[in-house]
Amino acid sequence: MSDQTGPPPPAATVPPPDLGAALSLRGLWKRFGQKIAVAGVDLDVPTGSFFGLVGPNGAGKTTSLSMATGLLRPDFGTVHVHGTDLWARPEEAKATLGVLPDGVRLFDRLTGAQLLTYAGLLRGLDRDTVAGRTEDLLRAMDLVGDRDTYVVDYSAGMTKKIGLASAMIHAPGVLVLDEPFEAVDPVSAANIRDILHGYVRDGGTVVVSSHVMDLVQRMCSHVAIIAGGHVLAAGTVAQVRGEQSLEDRFVDLVGGRRESEGLAWLRSSSASS
């Protein structure tokens, strides 16, 4: 979180967008009251990459992804999706995006199968295609047994999976997934990783935010480390981590490790009970 309150940098310092990238963010800036959540983010997500976005709590990941997917209007800056200006031509740009937002409520008074059907029809697919893809996605997410359960009654992990399936039903070119593995069991997570890897192999682009460095290091081809509303490092995973693990590189760049001395009372309390 930046505590600057000044204006964004002048446009002259922002390089032109990469129109060949799957996503190209330039000079993104968002302030909530006195808080600057995103302070001039420039980022290119290469087409066909599996891109991880990592950063500490409150770094600005969700705010950046919300602006990059048309859910939150930036104060300043531009977003291009495969060369299309998202905020100037939202319908065209959004047609190629599949989004799993963090913390946005689904239409949870629908059953899982109804939600997927609804998502497919909203995306303009015909009924037969929607029916076929709904079955495929329920199977892939291991939700066939709960197809007729209301989404409001799903567990956190099941909700994540049905949200992910909804984001994929129109076979978008770019998938943007905020914390897709949070609360998902290890078998489902492995299945989802397989699906995403297959999708990237076939030319799709995936952007995921995650707190799990080891997962990002193993799963992603590219990574950006974001903190205080700024991009601190971005590139291939090998470039960003260098000789270190991604986790060590993250801690070096972001800092913030605390001594636990201030919690001495906690240890004395547990020793005496």
Question: Is the CB of residue 43 less than 8 Å from the CB of residue 232?
Answer: no
Q: Is residue 215 involved in binding ligand ATP (CB under 6 A)?
A: no
Cβ nearer to ligand ATP, comparing 137 with 233: 233
Looking at the DSSP bridge assignments, the partners of residue 248 are none
Amino acid at 257: R
Number of residues that bind ligand ATP (CB under 6 A): 12
Q: Is residue 1 involved in binding ligand ATP (CB under 6 A)?
A: yes
C-alpha distances in Å from residue 73, one per residue of 58, 70, 78, 105, 142: 18, 7, 10, 19, 35
Closest residue by Cα to residue 29 from 71, 69, 3, 60:
60
Shortest approach of ligand ATP to residue 144 CB, angstroms? 31
Amino acid at 227: A
Shortest approach of ligand ATP to residue 59 CB, angstroms? 4
Cβ nearer to ligand ATP, comparing 72 with 95: 72
- Residue from 59, 68, 141, 168 in contact with ligand ATP (CB under 6 A): 59
> Quick one: how far is CA 3 from the chain centroid?
24
Positions in 37-56 near ligand ATP (CB under 6 A): 37, 55
Cβ nearer to ligand ATP, comparing 145 with 255: 255
- Residue from 14, 35, 171, 247 in contact with ligand ATP (CB under 6 A): 35
- Residue from 46, 48, 58, 90 in contact with ligand ATP (CB under 6 A): 58
Phi, psi of 24 (to 5 degrees): -135, 115
Q: Is residue 63 involved in binding ligand ATP (CB under 6 A)?
A: yes
Shortest approach of ligand ATP to residue 142 CB, angstroms? 26
Write the Ramachandran bin of 183: left for phi over 0, alpha for psi from -120 to 50, otherwise beta: left
Greatest C-alpha distance within the chain: 66
Q: Is residue 57 involved in binding ligand ATP (CB under 6 A)?
A: yes
Q: Is residue 32 involved in binding ligand ATP (CB under 6 A)?
A: yes
Cβ nearer to ligand ATP, comparing 48 with 58: 58
Q: Reduce the DSSP state of residue 200 to 3 states and report it.
A: helix
Which residue shows structure tokens 């990459």? 49
Note the residues at the interface with ligand ATP (CB under 6 A).
Answer: 1, 32, 35, 37, 55, 57-63
